[in-house]
Amino acid sequence: MRRILLIAPSLLLLAACTGAPRISALQNPLYRAENHTSTITARATETRNGITSITINAVVGELTACGGLSPSLIPCRTGASSLGVICTFPSTKSEVSCSLPISVTPQRLITYSATATSAEGPTASTGSVTYAAGAPLTRHRVDKGMFRFTIPWETARPVIWRTDAPSSGTDRGDKIDLGFVPDPDMPNYRAFTDDLEAVALPLFYTDTNQFSLWTRSWKKLFNLWAGPDGADGYGCTRTFAAPASTVRAAFDGTAILHRAEFRDCASITPGGGAGTTQTTLSDAKWVLLHEAAHFLFGLGDEYVGGGSVSISNPRNVMTSQASCQSTSTTNSLPTAQCVQIGTSGTWRNDNGVSTTMEDRTWDSDFQTLSGKAMANKVADCINGACY
Ligand SMILES: [Zn+2]
Distance from Cα 287 to the centre of ligand 1, integer Å: 9
pLDDT tens-place string over residues 213-225: 999 999 999 999 9
Say which residues have a Cβ less than 8 Å from residue 16's Cβ, sequence separation at least 6. 122
Instruction: Please tell me the total count of domains within the chain.
Output: 1
Say which residues have a Cβ less than 8 Å from residue 83's Cβ, sequence separation at least 6. 58, 60, 100, 102
In a domain, 94, yes or no: yes
Distance from Cα 325 to the centre of ligand 1, integer Å: 23
Distance from Cα 357 to the centre of ligand 1, integer Å: 6
Query: Does the pLDDT at position 11 exceed 70?
Result: no
Give pTM, 2 decimals. Answer: 0.94
- What is the percentage of the chain residues whose pLDDT exceeds 90? 90
Low-confidence winner among 92-96, 117-121, 179-183, 188-192 (lowest mean pLDDT): 117-121
Say which residues have a Cβ less than 8 Å from residue 3's Cβ, sequence separation at least 6. none
pLDDT tens-place string over residues 145-178: 888 889 999 999 999 999 999 999 999 999 999 9
Distance from Cα 65 to the centre of ligand 1, integer Å: 36
* Cα separation, 271 vs 253, whole angstroms: 6
Distance from Cα 115 to the centre of ligand 1, integer Å: 41
pLDDT at residue 14 in the model: 47
Q: What is the DSSP letter of 126?
A: P
* Cα separation, 225 vs 255, whole angstroms: 10
The closest of 341, 273, 274 to 307, measured between CA atoms, is 341
The closest of 229, 264, 234 to 245, measured between CA atoms, is 229
pLDDT at residue 69 in the model: 77
pLDDT at residue 5 in the model: 38
Helix H or strand E encompassing 295: helix 284-297
CATH of the domain at 122: 2.60.40.2420
Helix (H, G, I), strand (E, B) or coil at 22: strand
Averaged pLDDT score across all residues of the chain: 94
In a domain, 144, yes or no: yes
Domain that residue 127 falls in: 21-169
Distance from Cα 265 to the centre of ligand 1, integer Å: 6
pLDDT at residue 17 in the model: 52
In a domain, 51, yes or no: yes
The closest of 129, 131, 132, 133 to 164, measured between CA atoms, is 129
Distance from Cα 267 to the centre of ligand 1, integer Å: 9
